[in-house]
């Protein structure tokens, strides 16, 4: 390998500030239109029962987000069934009230993107002034769907090391996912990565020309790992609403602000000064090429108006100073070894061989 030049690349223009403002409006608390997609949300459903196991109809069920304080209210039907079809991923407090029964409150109900949490709360007969608090347990299996899927949540995104901070690399943690080629594509169950489907917050995120995720092959990623709340990976059997995929589906949800102020800043550096020269360069006398990569940014989120309006701002940049290399042809390598006296110069006495090496070297230097 021979180093010809070094190149400095700035990604400031490619990774601009991402500002996300989430507004709590009355439309969120009402049942959304039938045409609304559920790709970027999760669901809570359940059946209200009494202590004997009989269904309780007309119970008032409220789901309140722990992060934003936004709440939605439904009434159970005559069979005690209730459903919240479009909830942003996060942790919720579910409260069930009915005249003649004690109020029951379920804490720590975790809603993940693309999944359904099924509850069977029981109401005890008694005064409504008495509240029963129960810590809900996340079910190990979503029995409402037939798809095979995995959710990569905040615990993995925030704590697992990731070279380059491209969050889509976490897809490889799911069963049946392997790399496809050298451009960062993923193959699910042996199917080409061109047949996958990528969505962000329920919107299409595919490059129609290259049949890849938007940004793949031209920039490392579209937005920072810090603004990704979680994402779901469906490998097979997913519902028709996901569509247009013969491979897998990567369904990403970005963060919004909340009632608490959060912030972070980071700086990562990779520098060849900390590494030794490789053995091939040492053998042919090439000095260690300069190679430095810097990645930095920060995130800030919080409330503008508590329980109503929130903000989240993020910036990430990269500066790279990396060598551009070419693979040296075999005959050019031999020619170099001759002049470094590692191969006897007597080979140059062969005029046809000498003229051939000279012509090849001239074309290489002029190209």
Q: What is the pLDDT of residues 111-146, one digit of tens each?
A: 988 888 899 998 988 876 666 666 656 566 666 666
Q: Encode pLDDT of 293-342 as tens digits.
A: 899 999 999 999 988 899 999 999 888 887 766 555 555 555 555 555 55
Strands lying side by side in the sheet with 71-75: 71-75, 60-65, 90-97, 103-111, 131-135
Q: Looking at the domain that runs over 26-135, which CATH code has it been given?
A: 2.60.40.1120
Query: Percent of the chain, pLDDT > 70?
Result: 69
Helix spans in the chain (H): 26-29, 154-159, 279-284, 330-339, 351-366
Contact 361, 332 (CB under 8 A): yes
Helices (H), 244-309: 279-284
Instruction: For residue range 1-39, list pLDDT tens digits in order.
Output: 333 333 333 333 333 333 333 333 333 333 333 334 467
| CATH number 2.170.130.10 is the correct assignment for the domain at 148-254 | yes
Residue 106 is inside which H or E element, if any? strand 103-111
Q: Whole-number mean pLDDT of the chain?
A: 77
Q: How far is CA 5 from CA 149, 222, 279, 291, in A?
A: 46, 28, 20, 11
Domains in the chain: boundaries? 2-17+260-326, 26-135, 148-254, 330-366
Q: What is the pLDDT of residues 250-287, one digit of tens each?
A: 888 999 889 999 999 999 998 888 888 888 778 877 78
Q: Residue 60 above 70 pLDDT? A: yes
Task: Please report which confidence band the pLDDT of residue 347 belongs to, taking 50, 70 and 90 as the band edges.
Answer: low
């Amino acid at each position: 390998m021979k180093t010809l030049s070094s190149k400095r690349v700035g990604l400031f223009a490619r990774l601009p500030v991402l500002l996300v403002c989430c507004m709590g409006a009355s439309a969120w608390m009402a049942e959304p239109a039938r045409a609304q997609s559920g790709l970027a949300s999760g669901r809570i459903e359940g059946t209200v029962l009494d202590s004997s196991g009989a269904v309780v109809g007309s119970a008032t069920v409220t789901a309140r987000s722990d992060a934003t304080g936004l709440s939605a209210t439904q009434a159970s039907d005559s069979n005690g069934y209730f459903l919240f079809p479009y909830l942003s991923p996060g942790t919720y407090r579910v409260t069930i009230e009915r005249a003649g029964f004690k109020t029951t409150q379920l804490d720590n109900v975790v809603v993940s993107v693309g999944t359904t949490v099924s509850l069977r709360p029981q109401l005890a007969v008694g005064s409504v002034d008495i509240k029963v608090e129960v810590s809900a347990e996340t079910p190990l299996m979503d029995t409402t769907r037939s798809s095979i899927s995995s959710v990569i949540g905040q615990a993995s995104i925030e704590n697992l090391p990731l070279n380059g901070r491209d969050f889509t690399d976490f897809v490889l943690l799911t069963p049946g996912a392997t790399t496809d080629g050298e451009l960062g594509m993923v193959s699910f169950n042996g199917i080409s990565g061109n047949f996958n489907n990528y969505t962000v917050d329920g919107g299409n995120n595919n490059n129609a020309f290259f049949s890849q995720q938007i940004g793949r092959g031209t920039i490392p990623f579209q937005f920072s790992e810090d603004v990704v709340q979680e994402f779901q990976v469906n490998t097979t059997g997913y519902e028709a609403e996901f569509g247009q995929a013969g491979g897998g589906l990567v369904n990403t949800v970005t963060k919004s602000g909340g009632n608490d102020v959060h912030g972070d800043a980071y700086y990562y550096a990779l520098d060849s000064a900390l590494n030794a020269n490789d053995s091939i360069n040492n053998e042919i006398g090439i000095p260690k090429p300069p190679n430095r990569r810097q990645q930095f940014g920060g995130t800030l989120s919080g409330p503008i108006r508590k329980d109503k309006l929130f903000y989240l701002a993020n910036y990430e940049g990269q500066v790279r100073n990396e060598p551009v290399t070419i693979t040296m042809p075999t005959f050019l390598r031999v020619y170099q070894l001759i002049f470094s006296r590692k191969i006897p110069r007597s080979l140059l006495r062969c005029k046809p061989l000498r003229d051939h090496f000279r012509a090849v070297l001239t074309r290489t230097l002029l190209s």
